[in-house]
DNA sequence: TTAAACTTTCAGTAATTTTTGAACTTTTGA
DNA sequence: TCAAAAGTTCAAAAATTACTGAAAGTTTAA
């Protein structure tokens, strides 16, 4: 396979993966393009490569910056903004985990704690099933939460090393 | 909070969470409803509780069965089909992990292996960055893969026990 | 202070995804 | 064998989400 074909496939696959995980396709594609670009790119570069509009490019770049996956760069003597993606996969994974934890896991844990307080009749089967499901999900969510917190602080090699030491 | 309010909030939250993770809202809501229902429900029950159409209910139930999260039950002497959700959270997590691994991780690993074979000029910076990104993502994907495989085989208490033994 | 170079915003449009509902199929019991 | 009761399908409609392009905003340098 040629590099140019490989690059296209990579961008396409990253976009598809993103959309399967609730991340907009274009945002994932811009990220993919930056991941395989040695140099920072301008808005124009991205628009051309992906044939998308200026507005779309701009908004998705802001989002990527909001996710902590892309940063703005300025070249001295130039007015234009350049965009660069961190290439360290472990940082990317951590950053995504961090943001999704904040946006989704934390609120769900908060709700589950509230739902644990729901009062009812212990003889009511609906109530018993509700309580039991909420309790179990709560436990799982808290375990995931603890594991993510460890991961957020950890070095990649230590993290996987620890995992595999046990799992063999 | 009252049980009825809690049930509504739970269904709503589960639906939202699903949609944030690329799972259709209604499918997640049906799953939520079944999770907090002690008895198996009929299509009619679900249609009424969630005020959705028969077609929609039917299709999403098929999908849930396809994900291995819901099973059909038959009551003797009755024509109607009843639907029941496994309430074991660990089984649910494993089932979701298993399906998503099969549908998404496995294909991505296959592609990454192909992309590892892309030929090019070692002096080309584009080529070098491409190779390096592909290699790193490949490594991460394989680590995730191994961890998932362990998880799929494991008992819940053993799994979290092992994780926390290391992470403290 | 002006104008060129660039960035941001957002109303309108387009694309995609989800839902409906009615026609169609299957199963069952009389 | 038939009709009632249930289950399934899918074209069309609705809802949601993403994209465009042009106007408005900002920054810079002369």
Question: In this structure, what CATH number is given to the domain that contains residue A25?
Answer: 1.10.10.10
Q: Does residue A167 register a pLDDT over 80? A: no
Residues B99 and B55 in one domain: no
Residues A112 and A69 in one domain: no
Q: Does residue A113 register a pLDDT over 80? A: yes
For residues A49 and A34, is the Cβ–Cβ distance under 8 A? no
Residues B80 and B107 in one domain: no
Give the CA-to-C1' distance from B56 to D11 in angstroms. 14
pLDDT per residue over A64-92, tens digit each?
999 999 999 999 888 899 999 999 999 99
User: Does nucleic acid strand C have an atom less than 7 angstroms from the CB of B47?
Assistant: no
Compare B163 and A142 and report the one with higher pLDDT: A142
Residue B167: pLDDT band with limits 50, 70, 90: confident
Helix (H) / strand (E) element for A160: namely helix A156-167
b/e per residue A86-119 (b: at least 16 CB within 10 A): ebebbebbbbebbebbeeebeebbebbeebeebe
Residues B52 and B115 in one domain: no
Residues B148 and B120 in one domain: yes
With CB atoms and an 8 Å threshold, state whether B115 touches A6.
yes
CB contacts of B1 in chain A (<8 Å) are: 114-115, 117-119
Residues B72 and B31 in one domain: yes
pLDDT of residue B77: 86
Residues B131 and B68 in one domain: no
Check residues 136 to 165 of chain B and report those whose beta carbon is under 7 Å from nucleic acid strand C: none
Measured in whole angstroms, the distance separating CA A69 from the mean position of its chain's CA atoms is 9
Residues B97 and B42 in one domain: no
Residues A104 and A163 in one domain: yes
Average pLDDT over residues A43-59: 98
E runs forming strands in B9-156? 41-42, 70-74, 81-85
Query: In the listed set B51, B85, B119, which residue is the last one of a domain according to the structure?
Result: B85
Query: In the listed set A85, A115, A136, which residue is the last one of a domain according to the structure?
Result: A85
Residue A168: pLDDT band with limits 50, 70, 90: low
pLDDT of residue A165: 84
Nearest to B62 by CA among B76, B72, B77, B74: B72
Domain tally, chain A: 2
Give the CA-to-C1' distance from A75 to D30 in angstroms. 21
Q: Does residue A47 register a pLDDT over 90? A: yes
Compare A168 and A60 and report the one with higher pLDDT: A60
Query: In the listed set B85, B119, B153, which residue is the last one of a domain according to the structure?
Result: B85
Q: Does residue B163 register a pLDDT over 90? A: no
pLDDT of residue B168: 67
List the single protein residue with the shortest CA to C1' distance from D26: A79
Residues A13 and A79 in one domain: yes
Residues A60 and A99 in one domain: no
Residues B142 and B154 in one domain: yes
Task: State chain A's mean pLDDT as an integer.
Answer: 96
Q: Does residue A118 register a pLDDT over 70? A: yes
**Percent of chain A scoring above 90 in pLDDT:** 92
Asked if the ipTM is above 0.90, the reply is yes
pLDDT per residue over B6-38, tens digit each?
999 999 999 999 999 999 999 999 999 999 999
Domain of A150 in residue numbering reads as: 89-167
**Chain A residue at shortest CA distance from B116:** A6
pLDDT per residue over B111-130, tens digit each?
999 999 999 999 999 999 99
């Amino acid at each position: 396979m040629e590099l140019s074909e490989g690059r296209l496939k990579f961008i396409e696959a990253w976009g598809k993966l993103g959309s399967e995980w609730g991340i907009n396709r274009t945002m994932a594609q811009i990220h993919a393009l930056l991941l395989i670009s040695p140099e920072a790119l301008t808005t124009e570069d991205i628009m051309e490569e992906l044939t998308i509009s200026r507005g779309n490019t701009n908004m998705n770049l802001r989002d990527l910056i909001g996710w902590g996956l892309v940063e703005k760069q300025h070249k001295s003597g130039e007015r234009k903004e350049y965009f660069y993606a961190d290439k360290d996969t472990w940082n990317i994974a951590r950053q995504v985990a961090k943001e999704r934890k904040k946006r989704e896991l934390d609120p769900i844990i908060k709700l589950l704690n509230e739902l644990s307080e729901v009062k009812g009749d212990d003889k009511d089967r609906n109530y018993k099933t509700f309580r039991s499901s909420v309790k179990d999900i709560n436990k799982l969510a808290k375990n995931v939460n603890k594991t993510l917190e460890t991961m957020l602080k950890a070095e990649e090699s230590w993290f996987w090393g620890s995992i595999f030491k046990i799992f063999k």
